[in-house]
Amino acid sequence: MPKLEAPDEGIVVRMYRQGHGDCFLLALPRRDGGDPVYVLIDCGVKPGSQEFVNNTPIGDIAKSIAEATGNRLDLVVITHEHQDHLNGFWKEVEPYFTGFTIVEAWLAWTEDPGDPLANELRERHRDQLLSLLSARNKLANALGADDLAVHRIDRLLNLELGGEDDAFATNARLAAANPEASVNKQALKFIKDKASAHRGVRYLDPGGEPLKIPGSAVRVFVLGPPRDPNLLRDEDPKGSEAFPDDNPARHTFAAAAGSTGSGAPPFSQRFVIGLDQALSNEGDPFFRDHYGLGNKGNDDRDRKEVSFNAPWRRIGDDWLYSAEMLALKLNTGVNNTSLVLAFELPDSKKVLLFTGDAQRGNWNSWNTVTWRDGAQTVTARDLLGRTVLYKVSHHGSHNGTLKGNPSDAYANLSWMATGAAAGEFTAMITAVNEWALTKNHPPWAHPLPSIKRELMRKAQGRVFQTDTGKLEKPATVPDPVWKSFLKRCACEDLYFDYTIPDS
């Protein structure tokens, strides 16, 4: 496979079709000539989803990137710690990117080991993860590992741990002993170590001054993640922010995942006895009589309608079924830590927006962020208005893109591609719809049909989707306009290439 070449002016975006997950390779012209500047944004896949596209192993994606770049990446961006964004970087034996030179890596402030808030959030996430692993194992012991509830939890935990689905037991055991041993953590460390041998790692905060990609004239504006923990936990659109058809349940025990309590017991130890002691003959008969193991078949001589120690009086392990909702809550909190970047081309000022898996809280923070550009102030509304490429957040899910009007105070899809950018707006959706609907319980609407329809309308058909190999011209688009677009596209089994001119 030949190297991926950059245009003299502009940028080429390669969207890999590895399955349900993100992997983008950007080729930019180098300022002083020579080989292009190569930027890689994420590399991961949900195991099994590739069977619904081209059945390409994730290792072959790494080989393709090596051939396209000559084993050199000027910049690697990791948006957040999820399996489908990370597991293509690392495996235990001969990690996929071993032969690469990685000059610099960019991560969100949430990964900064020197940031107190980031450390607090990571510690809390670690505690929740360990509690969830414990609950999952108890549920599996009670119901069997093949139970549907256990299976759903395992899929969500795999997002946090990484690795292959068939290796879950090993990954879970390692993570329970040491969360740093998970595939996701190992992949993150691998990239950081690679970059540290050269220019190093940068942890990015929203706002400030635009960043420069070494060797390139392209500038980058950091929109998210926000530093407000409440926004990081804010996942689902509210009211008119939501596209039709959606919103999963957000109730039951899952709210506990948002608790900021200390975890200390509410009563002094002198008021506490163990469960075994409470139900034994040595304990106070009150507990045995009212919350014990039932009357074991003895006649109820008082003919009470319900025995004092009926099984329903004991909470027991019923709460374990809520582990699934805890898993959902844990998973969604990570999505909102996504590093959101706007790449600005130097001459035309066109913007390419890469959002990771950002959800409501991340989106709602953008309108408060500003950047210094000399004497001028740049806003998110300005950047989104110049956006000609939108990497659709979270595979097109119900909470990955907000609906709204241009006049709304919060960032939403209608803010994008206004004015001159409107005729060039294009979207990329990293989703395998059949896998999402048939291999997940409940099914994942990736992409949500109403979001896909609005993107198709807004982009006039210029919407790439992982599992859709052929771009279909809408009847309303003139032939010359569509042909001009197709000239800038290459649709291969392994990837889509899309060239954006800087003019």
Report the C-alpha gap between 464 and 397 in whole angstroms. Answer: 15
Q: How far apart are CA 74 and CA 182, in angstroms?
A: 26
In this prediction, residue 73 has a pLDDT band, given cuts at 50, 70 and 90, of very high
The CATH number assigned to the domain holding 70 equals 3.60.15
Asked, for residue 262, whether it belongs to a domain, the answer is no
Among residues 177, 197, 219, which one ends one of the domains? 177
Contact 459, 422 (CB under 8 A): no
Better-predicted residue by pLDDT, 313 or 81: 81
Q: Is the same domain home to 82 and 128? A: no
The predicted-structure confidence for 25-40, as pLDDT tens digits, reads as follows 999 999 999 999 999 9
Residue 461 identity: G
Asked, for residue 296, whether it belongs to a domain, the answer is: no
Question: Pick the residue with more confidence: 31 or 132?
Answer: 31
Select from 3, 21, 195, 2 the least CA-distant residue to 100.
195
Residue 93 pLDDT level (bands cut at 50, 70, 90):
confident
**Predicted pLDDT at 335:** 93
Give a yes or no: residue 70 inside a domain.
yes
**Structural domain contains residue 274:** no
Whether residues 496 and 348 share a domain: the answer is yes
Q: Are 484 and 435 in contact (CB under 8 A)?
A: no
Of residues 128 and 116, more confidently modeled: 116
Same domain, 18 and 85: yes
Residues 311-369 have pLDDT tens digits of 545 545 555 556 666 666 666 678 999 999 999 999 999 999 999 999 999 999 999 99
Collapsed DSSP state (helix, strand, coil) of residue 223: strand
pLDDT at 427: 99
Q: Where are the beta strands (DSSP E) in 109-246?
A: 200-204, 211-212, 219-224
54 pLDDT exceeds 70? yes
Domain-located, residue 64 = yes
Find the helix packing angle between 183-196 and 148-161, rounded to 10°: 10
Mean pLDDT for the stretch of residues 2-13: 97
The answer to whether residue 495 is domain-embedded is: yes
Tokens coding 298:
């003895």
Count structural domains, the chain: 2
| Confidence bin at 197 (pLDDT 50/70/90) | very high
Tell me: do 78 and 202 sit in the same domain.
yes
At 287 the pLDDT is 63
Q: Which helix (H) or strand (E) holds 187?
A: helix 183-196
Same domain, 133 and 221: no
The answer on 465 and 343 residing in a single domain is yes
**Could you tell me if 211 and 93 lie in one domain?**
yes
Looking at the chain, the whole-number percentage of residues with pLDDT higher than 90 is: 66
User: Which of 152, 177, 202 finishes a domain?
Assistant: 177
Summarize the confidence of residues 167-194 as an average pLDDT: 75
Q: Are residues 225 and 358 in the same domain?
A: yes
Residue 170 lies in domain: 120-177
**Cβ atoms of residues 440 and 449 within 8 Å:** no
Whether residue 455 lies inside any domain: the answer is: yes
The answer as to whether 417 is a domain residue is: yes
* pLDDT score recorded for residue 254: 39
Are residues 472 and 375 both part of a single domain?
yes
- Residues 87 and 222 reside in one and the same domain: yes
In tens, the pLDDT along 145-171 reads 777 777 777 777 776 776 665 555 556
Q: Do 156 and 33 have their domain in common?
A: no
* One domain for residues 21 and 160: no
CB within 8 Å of 325: residues ≥ 6 apart: 249, 252, 253, 254, 257
Nearest to 501 by CA among 480, 483, 487: 487
